[in-house]
Structure 1
């Protein structure tokens, strides 16, 4: 019996792999092509936390946590022959699919990167879904981290997946329309549709986990040894807004809030995201709500300015003098949008929130003060000027 984790070298995939492996005797197969490392290097940045190579990580996992059930396979899931071989050799009963080019800004740089993002993300998912059908593995639970970005920013509360449409007096439940705002986010809208079709045609059980903006530097497992650290990106292209704010605080720059910053975005801590994926991966089939479920992987919506002010307050605990400054917004967005998003299904999975944003900011800053030289050496990657390149 085996569990397959794609994108297992990444920010979310690696700590998820560690937690799953610590809670099962099944073989946990890690798959990656090290794309994230290459993309970040390409745009001239680096992970703030030093990240070990995969061999060192696995050795440390066994030494520190006693995990002898981790194996690694290097390969590109857009290659159908590789994907077919992977599935036929390991015959996973569960796939946690976190592999993707995850950056909206990267996908917007030019047409080449937009094309790459769409091909990479969609082809990998299609190869996995069709591979399960073609190799008689349609009982495999397919869990994918998509994104809350597929919803856009509607004025009404965002449901957990579906919507109700009414026309000429008739009502029906329909999939939420794709309202993505970037070429990356649209790949996840297409993935959601492809997973729905694979469930309908092949009967594959699907958990579409729509992941919110994720913050944090560590989980219990990764914090146990520096060799187990997950990556932490802080640049404009791959670092989420909360991570960029923390990097600015460490480097002694004001936090750059674009526009009013009153718009709310969905957030979740790394700890809460890892816990949910782990519970879904190890859940007994009889305990799953249905064979095709959408989860909003979010604990709360936070405004950008609230987030900046929270980080500024916590920064004082580390003797950092941080200010919040507003800059002209380069994005076309409603700067006062009060997002509401339902998350009852996901909260039922994890039970309760494990880390709120203030605690997360404290953990992030506590980690980053150790790597301030790395951050200061790459400050051109997160200051507003990078937007004009």
Structure 2
């Protein structure tokens, strides 16, 4: 049997493929068109941690971990003919679909990037779902990483999937309404709706894994060799708030909290994220869902100011000279929003949180301490104007 991991050259996709392959004798096929590398270069960024090319990573998995069942295929999932051939040749019993253009700010740059993001993300998912139907593979477990961003920021606790709606005295559970705040996040709202329809029409068992803001540099497997590392982006467009703060600390800049920074966001470490996807992919046949199941891939909600203060505290262990500073918020947002999000189903899946936020930050700063030159050479990508005292506007920041 074969497990297919799309986006296998990406930040989450690569360590997920590696973990799955390390835990099973099944064939694991990683597929990607290496778009993330092009997009980051396009906006003037680079990974702080050097990353090997996909085939070198696969060779390192064999040499360092004894993983011989992992292979890489380069291809574009928006091309239906490629997807059909991929499915016919490998006949996967499980697909872990992590491939996407994942940056909200990138999707907001202009109409061209918005169109590209929507076409790339939606077309890839539709091709896979219809490919399963048209190639007689509707018993394949389809696992997709969508995003908690589909929920928006409601004032009530966010359910793990559907919502109960009442009208005229009647009650029913309905899909949570799409409240996405970017052209990227809206692609995942559409994907969720398309997956629900594919389950209804084709009977495909589907796990919609709504991934929180992921931080970290290492998993159990990637620690073994520099050739196994996953990427670490820290620019405005592809770096999350945690990664940008860590880059600021490594470059001895203050950590820039906009406004009060008391709003809470959902987070999960890379280790906890990879573990959940691997467990879903490797579950026993009896544990495979027959329905459309939603997981909120979150371990905890953390406020922006708590993130900054934690990074500042851990940075002192590495002799980084940094501090937390508050600046006027250039964005319109609720600086005190206390997000609550249910995650019982996901925590039941992974058993318990495998890495604390503090330990995740130590991992990151340990890695960045080896590559401060790569960070400092791209400081214009993560140091905002409030520090650089430039007149150009501050780009929108991704979460």
Band of TM-score, shorter chain: over 0.9
- Is the aligned partner of 1:285 residue 2:289? no
Work out the CA distance in 1 between the residues paired with 2:298 and 2:116.
28
1:147-203 CA-partner distances (Å, limit 9, x unpaired): 000000000000001000111211110000000000000000000000000000000
Given that 2:266 and 2:300 are in contact with CA atoms closer than 8 Å, whether structure 1 keeps it comes out as yes
- Partner Cα distance (1:294, 1:344) in 2: 11
Task: Output one character per residue of 1:87-135: Cα deviation in whole Å (capped at 9) or x when no partner.
Answer: 0110000000000000000000111000000000000000000000000
**SS of residue in 1 equivalent to 2:256:** strand
Q: Is the 8 A contact 2:205 2:289 kept in 1?
A: no
1:27 aligned partner: 27
Question: How do 1:113-262 residues align onto structure 2 when only pairs under 5 Å count?
Answer: 113-262=113-262
Q: Distance in 1 between matches of 2:327 and 2:105?
A: 18
- In structure 1, runs of 5+ residues without a counterpart are none
RMSD: 1.0
1:342-365 residue CA offsets vs partner (Å, 9 max, x unmatched) = 000000110000111111111100
**How many angstroms does 1:289 deviate by?**
5.3
Name the residue aligned to 1:13. Answer: 13
Whether the 8 Å contact between 2:104 and 2:183 is mirrored in structure 1 is: yes
Change beyond 3 A, Cα 1:297–1:218 = same
Match of 2:388 in 1: none
Aligned to 2:264: 264
Structure 2 portions without partners, runs of 5+? 386-391
Structure 1 position 290, deviation (Å): 4.6
**Contact kept? 2:206, 2:289, Cα under 8 Å:** no
Change (3 A) 1:333 1:285: farther
Which whole-Å CA distance do the structure 2 matches of 1:128 and 1:64 have between them? 32
* Aligned 8 A contact 2:4 2:30 in 1: yes
**Match of residue 84 from structure 2:** 84
* Number of the residue aligned with 1:44: 44
SS at match of 1:71: strand
Q: Give the ranges of 4+ consecutive aligned residues of structure 1 lying more than 4 Å apart after TM superposition.
A: none
Q: TM-score, normalised by structure 1?
A: 0.99
| 2:104 corresponds to | 104
Alignment-derived partner of residue 329 in structure 2: 329
Distance 1:302 1:388, change over 3 A: closer
Q: 2:271, 2:89 → 1: CA distance?
A: 31
The residue number in structure 2 matching 1:64 is: 64
Aligned pairs, number: 389
In the aligned structure 1, how far is the partner of 2:189 from the partner of 2:202?
Answer: 20
